[in-house]
Amino acid sequence: MSVRPQNPALPILKSISYFRSLPARELARLATRCQTRALQPGQLLFEEGAPCTGLFMIATGHIDVRQVSYRGREQIFHTEGPGATLGEGPLFDGGGYIASAVASEPTTVLFLRRADLLDLCRRHPIVALRMLESLARRVRRFAEIIADLAFRPVSERLARYIDEAGKAQPGTRGAEVQLELTQAQLAARLGTVRELIARAFADLEREGIIARRGRRIVIRDPARLASIARGER
């Protein structure tokens, strides 16, 4: 009685912006070429320097892309969730992975081999254009990190983070923010160490700019927060 079983990869592929405008036939074909992989929290998807043989797409969960220095410091470059892709960089310039990818929660990813993808780009230039867009956004994001590290003190980076989280948080009234990250994770993302984050938080609280209860933050003085975020210290 059942209809022809649909490949489980199909709906995921559809959720990837690159492929959205492909004809159904092409998508179905693509789905047959995908492999799936499940990851536990903390598990490595790929490691900096390793050769890249294809593209990963996140079906569910989240992945941190980061480097770790020999001195033990961690820098998170970006975090990706469902519908995002990983490893386009090395895919196209032929080098090894630029950073390591680690699941931060139970995660499943799809994998598509490089040759399949290049072939697809040739037959459907729109796919290549979409990937150009995505890579361009990544360049922009990386440039922001560089500017943060080169120009802004830690306290300012944190203020920026909270400020943006405040704006991004949708439903709640603007003043309240639920942080998703521990201070250690925040530090890895902002390019510093845990202690400095703790102190910067304490300073903001002491000055009455924010109030905290655990990871729940109330922005008491949005104007002053924004002005610190802009570097007007």
Residues of this chain, 63-102, that bind DNA according to CB under 7 A: 71, 73
Only one of the segments 20-28, 60-68, 97-105, 196-204 lies at the binding site for DNA (rule: CB under 7 A); that segment is 196-204
Q: Does 215 bind DNA (CB under 7 A)?
A: yes
**Encoding tokens for residue 54?**
């294809």
Question: Cα separation of 33 and 105, whole Å?
Answer: 26
Interface pick for a copy of itself out of 57, 58, 99, 109 (rule CB under 8 A): 99
Q: Does 61 bind a copy of itself (CB under 8 A)?
A: no
Only one of the segments 3-11, 33-41, 136-144, 210-218 lies at the binding site for a copy of itself (rule: CB under 8 A); that segment is 136-144
Closer residue to DNA, CB minimum distance, 85 or 185: 185
Q: Does 118 bind a copy of itself (CB under 8 A)?
A: yes
Closer residue to a copy of itself, CB minimum distance, 49 or 81: 49
Q: Does 183 bind DNA (CB under 7 A)?
A: yes
Which string of b and e fits 147-160 if b means at least 16 CB within 10 Å? ebeeebebbbbbbb
CB of 217 to a copy of itself, least distance (A): 25
Q: With both helix axes pointing from N to C terminus, report the angle between 114-123 and 24-33 in degrees, rounded to the nearest 10.
A: 170
Interface pick for DNA out of 51, 136, 182, 230 (rule CB under 7 A): 182
Question: Cα separation of 16 and 59, whole Å?
Answer: 9
Only one of the segments 22-30, 47-55, 129-137, 192-200 lies at the binding site for DNA (rule: CB under 7 A); that segment is 192-200
Interface pick for DNA out of 5, 23, 171, 214 (rule CB under 7 A): 214
Interface pick for a copy of itself out of 10, 28, 98, 211 (rule CB under 8 A): 98
Burial of residue 15, with CB atoms counted within 10 A of its CB: 0-12 exposed, 13-18 middle, 19 or more buried: middle
CB of 220 to DNA, least distance (A): 16
Q: With both helix axes pointing from N to C terminus, report the angle between 125-151 and 114-123 in degrees, rounded to the nearest 10.
A: 120
Only one of the segments 8-16, 28-36, 86-94, 190-198 lies at the binding site for DNA (rule: CB under 7 A); that segment is 190-198
Query: Which chain residues interact with DNA by CB under 7 A?
Result: 71, 73, 153-155, 182-184, 191-196, 198-199, 201-202, 212, 214-215
